[in-house]
Chain A
């Protein structure tokens, strides 16, 4: 098994992160592990350095991106697959979904008028998804990922997952709306 992104940097599992410190740690470890350091070494040293360096690079890219970082945390606590289950179904914003179906009909009748409405709809949806993102990050920062199974954490994770589900639905709505065509 390869190490988790947090392990690579000797960090505790946490959504909160000192970006500066992470960057400096990345630079420091790169200086040590990069294949440039063994350019004239033997083949096995080179292979090992490539592997270590690749692992470091991936861990860094995972940690510095909040979305990927959260996904890593969910995966580590075994909750990423929960998202695919039915849990959080009630999170789907019915009002926006209905508005979309209305637009779909309007688009077949008069594309010109629909086009304007579609654009406004996409804006609304994007704003709503943005609010979800902020809420998701705020929740993620409150969760103690080292001991994720306390009742309090469970409740927070449940809320986070349903927010994520809502956001995913919104983004797919926006995608579909775009396909209706904005002239």
Chain B
């Protein structure tokens, strides 16, 4: 055992304040639900998952970022509160833009109260005061905040995380999520599907075997997953969804209705522009949420009193709900089941708090859905359970997931040749042979697509892989074997080998809307700037922990040893202890380290006395603090 700080992890810890609760084991892995509307972070302790509260003491952190004039920003409730008042500097629903190009978001663009910068070749960006942010950067800010909450709560640095995504997220969206994690200083050990995460929390609570459907209608995305639960195995049989469907769309429908009501008062009124859109959406959401508890809701918007009944809201919402029908039917069919085979339907997502949403689900599945779990927290709790599995603490549970969308390449005439069909279990691998068409050809380009349509033009192009370094050979002689691997994150990896000559291939990836090289570079550079402050923050947390440990040990030993100490010495130790206590209130690394060292030195004599009282001889030559800790 060395004397350096950091060894405290292996030592038995004195005291049980919240800050050292988790010390003693491996580094923790947190579970994060990065939501369109709300984000949460959770952890499992001794097999029990719990949500970690935010800076403001809340479980839910609104996924909203507000930028101040001085370049600083706030996140969560503080930012959400400013959304209506200062929409130009407030970014929300960034998840709807993650990994998406201009064409992807065309259908919803006019509804968002965001100033977007679009290009056909890269991810859409959000403009705030002349600076364009990628949705990855915005997501990273939210993740950073959650990471900080976890570190504050656990009293130790946190790096490893499981981050959830909608099951129906495609490859670009998953990659973008992972990039956001990296940018936030997180080591994303797993990208986990949200409904699958929910099933883990459900399984932990119910401990039942059976066939379960998870209906997850969130703020901006809809997922349906069909799972088989069997003795701790969570096997996804099929999944489907719509990544542009959620509570936001209910708000937009209500906002359109409010607009028409307002026009009845003033025919010429116009509600375009960021401020108006933001105000309309805000009013719509408030009415909607109130109607989950009341049958009529009234508020003043644009100086006019608006009254909405639950019946009217149900009517406005129906077209949104109807859009869940086809994905649900497909998922059940793909699972090889009928609705009557299901033993339970689990509800996830804020909008499932509305009674008519539950009724819709009940009619669709022919059974009353289960809402015994908090629909907004269950995904984060599940992410924490998966984190616990990855940490090796839970050997009873295992998730077996699938790829949500078919993956293929272009063949003659623009047809899609499916290499990996949707709902294939992951990890999965497919091999395909390619050759050259021209003598001396040294490069082959392969376009990879994702989607269910027969023509590649109607599917989404994920990336172009350029295989280089093919030895010059006559046309058709080269044998290039390409391996497509979809990993447990549902993300595609490609490797290639020329088998005729045995030459390894270099692969250059040109993602479509994921990340351009230029973006990656810029982000990594920005990441380095953060790295330094991260390292300092980490050191500070570690130093404070060590100091707390020594302090607790001293406070425990002093009363017992007082009789054996000179009163002056005892008073000196008390002074040193007070200095350590005070240093803990400041974020001054040097001061914390200095105070702790002084206390270490000042307690050497007391530790020796303590040691001589102990029968254990193995404690000789230990640092005073170590002895104190063992006492």
Contact = CB atoms under 8 A, between A and B. Distances in A.
Contacts of B400: 30, 34
B485 interface: yes
Contact of A40 (B390, B425, B426, B429): B390
B230 A27 contact: yes
Given A30-B400, A40-B391, A35 B427 contact: yes
Contacts of B392: 37, 40
A58 B233 contact: no
B574 interface: no
A112 B386 CA distance: 58
A55 B430 CA distance: 10
Contacts of B506: none
Interface stretch (A46-54, A87-95, A115-123, A142-150): A46-54
Given A50-B487, A50-B488, A36 B426 contact: no
B424 A36 contact: no
B389 interface: yes
B485 A50 contact: yes
A31 interface: yes
A39 B233 contact: no
A39 B398 CA distance: 13
B424 A61 contact: yes
B276 interface: no
Interface in B381-440: 386, 389-392, 395, 398-400, 424-429
Nearest to B431: A2
A37 B189 CA distance: 12
Contacts of A31: 233, 395, 398
Contact of A57 (B386, B389, B395, B428): B428
B481 to A, nearest CB: 13
Contact of B398 (A34, A55, A60): A34
Given A27-B230, A30-B398, A35-B488, A58 B428 contact: yes
A31 B399 CA distance: 9
A57 B424 contact: yes
Nearest to A28: B233
Interface string A41-70: 000000000110111011011000000000
B310 interface: no
Given A30-B233, A30-B400, A39-B390, A51 B429 contact: yes
A31 B235 CA distance: 12
Contacts of A53: 427, 488
Contact of B425 (A35, A50, A51, A60): A60
Nearest to B162: A39
A167 B487 CA distance: 36
Contact of A61 (B390, B395, B425, B488): B425
Contacts of B231: 27
Contacts of B429: 50-51, 54-55, 58
A62 to B, nearest CB: 12
Instruction: Assign chain A's interface to a size class.
Output: 10 to 19
Contacts of A37: 392
Nearest to B390: A39
B607 to A, nearest CB: 36
Contacts of B160: 40
Contacts of A55: 429
B147 interface: no
Contacts of A58: 428-429
B427 A57 contact: yes
Contact of A35 (B233, B391, B395, B487): B487
A40 B26 CA distance: 11
Contacts of B230: 27
B125 interface: no
A159 B272 CA distance: 71
B66 interface: no
B428 A54 contact: yes
Contacts of A60: 425
A36 B398 contact: yes
Contacts of A27: 230-231, 233, 235, 398
B488 to A, nearest CB: 5
B190 interface: yes
Given A50-B485, A61-B425, A40 B233 contact: no
A24 to B, nearest CB: 9
Interface in B467-520: 485, 487-488
A160 B257 CA distance: 64
Nearest to B187: A40
Nearest to A50: B427
Contacts of B395: 31
Interface string B213-241: 00000000000000000110101000000
Nearest to A46: B487
A36 B390 contact: yes
A64 to B, nearest CB: 10
A114 to B, nearest CB: 26
Contacts of B425: 57, 60-61
B419 to A, nearest CB: 12
A54 B427 contact: yes
Interface in B360-389: 386, 389
Nearest to A57: B425
Contacts of A36: 190, 386, 389-390, 398-399, 488
A54 to B, nearest CB: 4
A58 to B, nearest CB: 7
Contact of A39 (B189, B424, B426, B485): B189
Nearest to B489: A35
Contacts of A34: 398, 400, 488
B612 to A, nearest CB: 42
A54 B485 contact: yes
Which 3 pairs of residues, A with B, have the shortest CB-CB distance?
A39-B390, A54-B429, A57-B425
12 contacts: A27-B230, A27-B398, A34-B488, A36-B190, A36-B398, A36-B488, A37-B392, A40-B390, A40-B392, A53-B427, A54-B485, A57-B426
Given A30-B233, A36-B390, A57-B428, 4 more contacts: A36-B190, A50-B429, A53-B488, A54-B428
